[in-house]
């Protein structure tokens, strides 16, 4: 027997389907193909709407230019420039391009452009579906008074003649109209203004409305900013690209020229203002620095007077140091000389009694008089000694020489004593002078720190003074220069055609929207549609075998229940033989024994009777002995269809005569192999009758006479009759009408099949909408004739 176990790969735990209930892309595509007329209708609506939208959109033109930002003038303040100086060299920073880009698109600059070009008042005219800004081509101009500058307004001016015009609030307002005269003040809608003619006023402008739109300067600048793009050129340091988008090409070009002009004007004004402030600042600083330098000079002068120094402290300190060294040297030499004099003095005292000895002459004694006296004394002593040896002691010359020696010695002692005293005095004077010099050096050293501090401040102020003088000259040169800060590298470029609206793009969007709307509707409808409509959905969500599917009947067969027609075969009639072949295969699997087939469904009206009649007829035509039983003992739908209403049947088994059930069977007029057993008299309690043993015995006897017994029964889920009859059935055909059963109900049906409540249960899907190649295959095959090359083959 064929394995009919559940498909575990398609089912989750408990027999519930784990496959998504969302429709497949193929099913969605099939729905879209079936609803092709929706796409046509959507395109017929969306394309005209897209064209109308494009025709009503205002035209937008684009212009662009490239400017060069010069960086030859520092943008930092003078204080920042001075503080950035290093070793007397000023670091002049280059122009910050990001700041300049911001300035080019700043609201203050754009407000200046709006005021100069009077862009707060715009003029429009209607051209077919859209409004066009006429800018410089306007035949009239409106001058608002001061009190109406900040108001926002919109009105129409219709020239009536060379002198008069009409004011309208809008095109539909016929009540608030007012007439005015060109050149005279008019008050209209709380605004006061003067309407004047322009050089472009002509007879062609008469009775042609001009729409005037007035807004504030700030709002006009905001609108101008929305269409302005300022960005750095790719790979260039000081080049900036400026582009403008607005409703008039001439207006866009004028705006770009004005932006560059007023930017240069503002830059030049800023330079002049900065230059004047810089000059003022430099003058004030020079005066302050000059006064500080003068105070430093006075402080140095005061310090020099206090220290009694005429030269600078370093030189004076060097001289004092040299004097101190010389004093030390003189003291050392003087001490040597004093020691020599002391020695000589001591020698003269010790040798007072010995006049025969010579007095030594010391080279350290600087006094030449003493040296000469010593020389005379020694010469006299030598002469005396020599004469004494020859003449003796009593020689008068010897005695005279001795007297001279005594006087010379006394004189020498007095000279030595006097010189010694003078040397001591000189030593004391040198020592005093040395102490004074040391004290002076200490005083000068203590003052040197103050002088050095003042000197450092003086040098800083002098360098700053020189720097400010140079800066003043540079600033004077910058003030004298009138070169613009930016210049246009090339002229304003851009085509004369509008950038927007992009009609092909809008039409393409309309075309895509026309296709997308029905597609989305089909997708949404497919996602919201939770009914079972295709065999693949059943196979995907359950493991229950599908025995067959029946296509939807043609419109001409709508009221015809028996569609199995031997004379005129059709696609629908060909489906029943396929299903009959499946019944024969099930009978073969059952060892060729007769089969009792239960035909039931989820609810009424799904085609149980329709399937029963045509399937039984298909088997009977094939030569099988078939009995068709009406087991619906509540309505008797099969009996009514076959004309057996009121005739005896199953409900009359107790009253049957000697023939028993055979007397209740009626032969079909269509085929000799087909018999009917109608419902008969409908009992009050059908379930009690079906539970009776006579029904089971009846089924045993019927299987001895027939190959197939089809039992058309009530819906399985609503009444107990189908549950009772299911015990008598060998095979169950569960009928589903496409679009009637919810996908979520398949889980319960899967559980019934898995639990074996219905024997050899299989699903037959009815009323399937034809689609795809399978729906055309039969017709194509039938249309082939013998003249076809394929037919010959």
Q: Give pLDDT tens digits for 695-729.
A: 888 888 888 899 999 999 888 877 788 888 888 89
pLDDT band of residue 159 (cuts 50, 70, 90) is very high
* Residue of 266, 243, 241 lying closest to 61 (CA atoms): 243
725, 633 Cβ separation under 8 angstroms: no
pLDDT tens sequence across 736-773: 888 888 888 888 888 888 888 888 899 998 888 775 44
- This prediction has a pTM of 0.55
pLDDT for 16: 42
pLDDT tens-digit profile of 398-456?
A: 777 777 777 877 787 788 788 788 878 887 887 778 777 777 676 666 666 677 777 77
pLDDT of residue 461: 83
Per-residue model confidence as pLDDT tens digits over 6-33: 343 334 434 444 445 566 777 778 778 8
Rounded mean pLDDT of 137-159? 81
Task: Give me the pLDDT at residue 5, please.
Answer: 37
**Confidence (pLDDT) at 790:** 38
Tokens, residue 486: 């930016």
Query: What is the average pLDDT value for the chain, to the nearest integer?
Result: 79
pLDDT surpasses 50 at 784 = no
The alpha carbon of 407 is separated from its chain's Cα centroid by a whole number of angstroms, namely: 126
When mean pLDDT is compared across 44-53, 559-568, 581-590, 778-787, the lowest value belongs to: 778-787
- Percent of the chain past pLDDT 70, that is, above it, reads 81
Integer distance in angstroms from the first to the last C-alpha of the chain? 39
Determine the pLDDT at residue 448.
65
Is a pLDDT exceeding 60 seen at residue 783?
A: no
Query: Region 659-667: what's the mean pLDDT?
Result: 81
Cα distances (angstroms) measured from residue 503 to each of 59, 511, 521: 11, 12, 27
**Torsion, Cα of 445, 449, 455, 461 (10° steps):** -170
How distant is the alpha carbon of residue 229 from its chain centre? 18
List Cα–Cα distances, 760 to 524, 576, 766, in angstroms: 37, 19, 19
Percent share of the chain, pLDDT over 90: 14
The two most distant CA atoms of the chain are separated, in Å, by 228
Helices 217-226 and 107-117, axial angle in degrees (round to 10) = 110
| Most confident among 210-214, 329-333, 641-645 (mean pLDDT) | 210-214
The predicted structure's pLDDT at residue 472? 83
Question: Is the confidence at residue 178, as pLDDT, over 50?
Answer: yes
Q: Strands 228-232 and 178-181: what pairing?
A: unpaired
180 HSE (CA, 13 A, CB side): 23
Give the span between the Cα atoms of 753 and 763, in whole angstroms.
Answer: 11
From residue 669, give the alpha-carbon distance in Å to each of 39, 103, 617, 674: 51, 102, 11, 8
| Sheet containing 486-488, strands listed edge to edge, beginning at the edge strand earlier in sequence | 228-232, 239-246, 61-69, 486-488
Give the residue with greater pLDDT, 667 vs 345. Answer: 667
**Topology classification of domain 535-792:** Rossmann fold (3.40.50)
At 389, the pLDDT band (50, 70, 90 cuts) reads confident
How far apart are alpha carbons 493 and 480 in whole angstroms? 34
The string of pLDDT tens digits covering residues 506-558 is 999 999 999 899 888 888 887 777 788 788 888 888 888 998 888 887 766 66
pLDDT given at position 463: 87
Measured distance CA(133)–CA(156) in Å, rounded = 13
Please name the residues in contact with 173: beta carbons below 8 A apart, sequence gap of 6 or more: none
Q: Strand 121-127 vs strand 130-133: parallel, antiparallel, or unpaired?
A: antiparallel
Would you say residue 586 has pLDDT above 50?
yes
- Does 127 have pLDDT greater than 90? no
Q: Quickly state the pLDDT bin for 306 (edges 50, 70, 90).
A: low
**pLDDT tens, residue by residue, 35-49:** 888 889 999 999 999
Q: pLDDT tens digit string along 283-297?
A: 888 888 888 888 887
Least confident stretch, 142-146, 364-368, 384-388, 469-473 = 364-368
């Amino acid at each position: 027997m064929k394995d009919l176990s559940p498909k575990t790969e398609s089912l989750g735990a408990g027999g519930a389907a784990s496959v998504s209930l969302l429709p497949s892309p193929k099913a969605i595509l099939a729905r879209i193909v079936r609803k092709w007329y929706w796409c046509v209708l959507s395109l017929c609506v969306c394309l005209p709407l897209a064209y109308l939208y494009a025709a009503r959109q205002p035209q937008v033109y684009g212009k662009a230019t490239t400017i060069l930002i010069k960086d030859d003038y520092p943008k930092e303040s003078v204080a920042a420039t001075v503080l950035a100086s290093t070793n007397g060299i000023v670091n002049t920073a280059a122009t910050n391009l990001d700041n300049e880009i911001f300035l080019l698109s700043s609201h203050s600059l754009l407000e200046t452009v709006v005021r100069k070009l009077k862009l707060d008042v715009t003029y429009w005219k209607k051209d077919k579906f859209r409004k066009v800004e006429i800018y410089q081509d306007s035949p009239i101009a409106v001058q608002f008074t001061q009190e109406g500058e900040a108001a926002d307004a919109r009105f129409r001016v219709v020239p009536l003649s060379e002198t008069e015009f009409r004011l309208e609030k809008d095109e539909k307002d016929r009540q608030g109209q007012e007439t005015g005269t060109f050149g005279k003040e008019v008050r209209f809608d709380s605004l006061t203004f003067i309407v004047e003619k322009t050089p472009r006023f002509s007879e062609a402008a008469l009775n042609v409305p001009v729409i005037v739109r007035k807004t504030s300067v700030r709002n006009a600048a905001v609108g101008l900013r929305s269409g302005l793009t300022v960005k750095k050129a790719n790979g260039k340091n000081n080049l900036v690209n400026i582009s403008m988008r607005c409703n008039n090409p001439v207006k866009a070009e004028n705006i770009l020229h004005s932006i560059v002009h007023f930017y240069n004007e503002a830059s030049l004004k800023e330079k002049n203002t900065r230059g004047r402030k810089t000059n003022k600042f430099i003058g004030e600083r020079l005066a302050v620095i000059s006064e500080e330098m003068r105070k430093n000079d006075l402080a140095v002068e005061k310090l020099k007077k206090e220290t009694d120094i005429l030269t600078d402290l370093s030189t004076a300190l060097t001289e004092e140091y040299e004097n101190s060294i010389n004093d030390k040297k003189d003291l050392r030499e003087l001490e040597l000389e004093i020691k020599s004099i002391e020695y000589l003095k001591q020698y003269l005292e010790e040798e007072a009694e010995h006049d025969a000895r010579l007095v030594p002459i010391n080279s350290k004694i600087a006094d030449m008089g003493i040296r000469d006296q010593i020389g005379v004394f020694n010469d006299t002593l030598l002469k005396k000694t020599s004469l004494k040896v020859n003449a003796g002691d009593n020689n008068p010359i010897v005695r005279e020489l001795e007297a001279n020696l005594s006087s010379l010695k006394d004189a020498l002692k007095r000279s030595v004593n006097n010189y010694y005293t003078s040397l001591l005095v000189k030593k004391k004077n040198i020592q005093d002078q040395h102490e004074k010099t040391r004290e002076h050096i200490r005083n000068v050293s203590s003052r040197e720190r103050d002088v050095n501090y003042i000197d450092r401040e003086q040098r800083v102020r002098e360098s700053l003074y020189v720097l400010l003088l140079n800066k003043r000259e540079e600033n004077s040169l910058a003030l004298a220069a009138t070169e613009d800060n930016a210049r246009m590298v090339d002229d304003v470029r851009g085509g004369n055609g509008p950038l927007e609206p992009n009609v092909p793009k809008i039409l393409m969007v309309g075309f895509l929207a026309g296709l997308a709307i029905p597609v989305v509707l089909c997708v949404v409808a497919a996602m919201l549609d939770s009914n079972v409509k295709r065999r693949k959905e059943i196979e995907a969500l359950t493991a229950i075998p599908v025995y067959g599917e029946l296509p939807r009947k043609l419109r001409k067969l709508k009221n015809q229940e028996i569609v199995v027609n031997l004379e005129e075969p059709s696609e629908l009639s060909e489906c029943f033989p396929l299903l009959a072949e499946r019944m024969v295969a099930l009978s073969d699997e059952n060892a060729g024994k007769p089969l009792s087939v239960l035909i039931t469904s989820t609810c009424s009206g799904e085609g149980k009777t329709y399937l029963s009649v045509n399937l039984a007829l298909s088997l009977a035509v094939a030569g099988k002995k078939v009995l068709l039983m009406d087991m619906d003992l509540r309505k008797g739908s099969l009996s009514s269809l076959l004309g057996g209403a009121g005739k005896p049947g199953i409900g009359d088994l107790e009253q049957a005569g000697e023939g028993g059930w055979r007397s209740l069977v009626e032969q079909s007029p269509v085929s000799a192999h087909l018999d009917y057993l109608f419902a008969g008299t409908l009992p009050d309690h059908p379930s009690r009758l079906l539970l009776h043993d006579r029904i089971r015995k009846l089924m045993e006897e019927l299987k001895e006479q027939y190959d197939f017994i089809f039992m058309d029964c009530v819906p399985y889920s609503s009444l107990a009759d189908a549950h009772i009859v299911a015990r008598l059935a060998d095979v169950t055909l569960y009928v589903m009408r496409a679009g009637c059963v919810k996908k979520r109900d398949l889980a319960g049906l899967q559980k019934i099949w898995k639990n074996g409540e219905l024997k050899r249960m299989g699903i037959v899907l009815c009323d399937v909408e034809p689609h795809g190649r399978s729906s055309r295959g039969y017709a194509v095959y039938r249309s082939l004739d013998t003249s076809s090359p394929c037919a010959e083959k």
